[in-house]
């Protein structure tokens, strides 16, 4: 089992690797790891919903193993703040629209440098989604 702290550490590690891969012109892998960083960051929040000594609802557990960022956002407990922020910040809305389309199968695509640069920035850049998600850790 992976703990909240481990998911947080993995999110940070994958984000850093994504930035390094982008600099090394490994665009597809940079996008893949930036998405995985977001996945781990949301799973860190989901960990807060499980109590020691209580058998969790199986449907929630199965959904928590998803790789779909939109689904994970719904389970994370921050969907409400996301909706508020989307209504207040057009740039934030653009970043979320870009990253929510990510899927684990991105690793099989060929992604250009401009696309990768935009995605990595939206996902794990200074004002990216990871930075916002971390405010809820």
Q: In the numeric block, which tokens belong to residue 100?
A: 């929510």
User: Of 28, 30, 36, 31, which is closest to residue 12 (Cα–Cα)?
Assistant: 36
User: Residue 95: is its pLDDT beyond 90?
Assistant: yes
Q: What is the structure's pLDDT at 93?
A: 98
Q: Global pTM? A: 0.93
Q: What is the structure's pLDDT at 119?
A: 98
- State the average pLDDT over residues 90-111: 96
> How many CA atoms lie less than 13 Å away from 120 in the CB half-sphere?
26
User: Residue 55: is its pLDDT beyond 80?
Assistant: no
CATH number of the domain where residue 14 is located: 1.20.120
Alpha helix stretches (DSSP H) within the chain: 4-23, 27-46, 58-64, 69-76, 79-88, 90-100, 113-124, 129-134
The mean predicted confidence, pLDDT, of the chain is: 94
Domain that holds residue 40: 4-134
Q: What is the structure's pLDDT at 110?
A: 95
d(CA 1, CA 64): 13
């Amino acid at each position: 089992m992976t703990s909240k702290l481990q998911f947080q550490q993995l999110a940070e590690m994958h984000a850093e690797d994504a930035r390094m891969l982008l600099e090394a012109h490994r665009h597809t892998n940079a996008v893949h790891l930036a998405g995985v960083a977001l996945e781990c960051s949301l799973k860190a929040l989901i960990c807060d919903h499980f109590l020691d000594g209580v058998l969790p609802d199986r449907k929630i557990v199965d959904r928590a193993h998803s790789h779909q960022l939109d689904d994970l956002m719904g389970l994370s407990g921050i969907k409400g703040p996301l909706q508020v922020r989307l209504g207040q910040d057009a740039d934030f809305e653009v970043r979320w629209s870009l990253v929510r389309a990510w899927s684990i199968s991105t690793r099989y695509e060929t992604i250009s440098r401009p696309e990768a640069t935009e995605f990595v920035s939206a996902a794990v850049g200074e004002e990216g989604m990871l930075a916002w998600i971390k405010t809820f850790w």
